[in-house]
A = this chain, B = another copy of it.
Amino acid sequence: MDPYLQRHTYRYPRPSLAVDMVVLCVHEARLEVLLVKRGEPPFEGAWAIPGGFVHVADGRDQGESLEAAAVRELQEETHFDVRAGGAYLEQLYTFGEPGRDPRGRVISVAYLALLRLPTGARPRVRGGDDAAEAMWFSLDEVLDQKRLVLAFDHAEILAMARERLRGKIDWVPGLAAHLAPEPFTQNELRVVHEAIKGAPQDRSNFAKRFRRYLDEGLFEACEGTRVLPGAGRPPKMYRVVPDATPGS
């Protein structure tokens, strides 16, 4: 029997439970976010963070975890599998103010995903399900210039995602590597730092800190090199040492 054909009755009213997934990557030295264009009301036609309602069961099987729901909804709306690339995932915050969704009380648990781009090209995405379109946007442009109309309180969620990144980037050494190619050069990692902070980072001071992380065994040199258009000395390649990055 299809559980979605029956109705579900409770003693007390319950809110809807949603999850949203803020997917970020660094592309051409800019922090970019994956948004979908809503195909249904409310906020039809507005851009939104991909997400949707958590699948819950009433019986002994209690359904999917919140993180799994966020991954699934992203896949359904953008055809992008965030788990495939070994992306970094963390819970961001839970938004539950009364009135944030005109349809009724909706609590949304927001997640943050950081994408490793293998070549510098963003993953191909396309709309699906409730999403008419899916596209990458510059996070800073969306937040600072506000030319985009975002659905619900999604501007607030994006602002918190950027704050979280800025707050952690300097204290969690391995974090930036989740937004860099694998393996990465020192400069590629620096570009990630610059994209997040929105300010240029001194090459030499960054290199100094980078060397400390090498000494501490967080990163290690590895084979390979980058082919660059304008020539110049080829960079060394590095990768994160597995299970050596605390927190991250």
Check B65 against A105 for contact (C-beta < 8 Å): no
**How many Å from the CB of A62 to the closest CB on chain B?**
4
Closest to A10 in B: B8
- List residues of A (35-64) whose CB comes within 8 Å of B's CBs: 53-54, 56-58, 61-64
**How many Å from the CB of A74 to the closest CB on chain B?**
17
Residues in B whose Cβ lies below 8 Å from that of A96: 17, 54, 65-66, 109
Contact with B along A68-112 (1 / 0, CB 8 A): 000000000000000000000001011011110000110101000
Check A65 against B97 for contact (C-beta < 8 Å): yes
Copies of this protein in the assembly total: 2
**Secondary structure of the A contact surface, majority rule:** loop
A64 to B96, CA, bound (A): 10
Residues in B whose Cβ lies below 8 Å from that of A93: 91
13 A-B interface contacts by CB (under 8 A) = A4-B11, A4-B12, A8-B10, A8-B13, A9-B9, A10-B10, A12-B53, A14-B17, A17-B107, A61-B98, A63-B98, A65-B97, A66-B107
Give chain A's interface residues, CB within 8 Å of chain B. 3-4, 7-17, 53-54, 56-58, 61-66, 91, 93-94, 96-99, 104-105, 107, 109
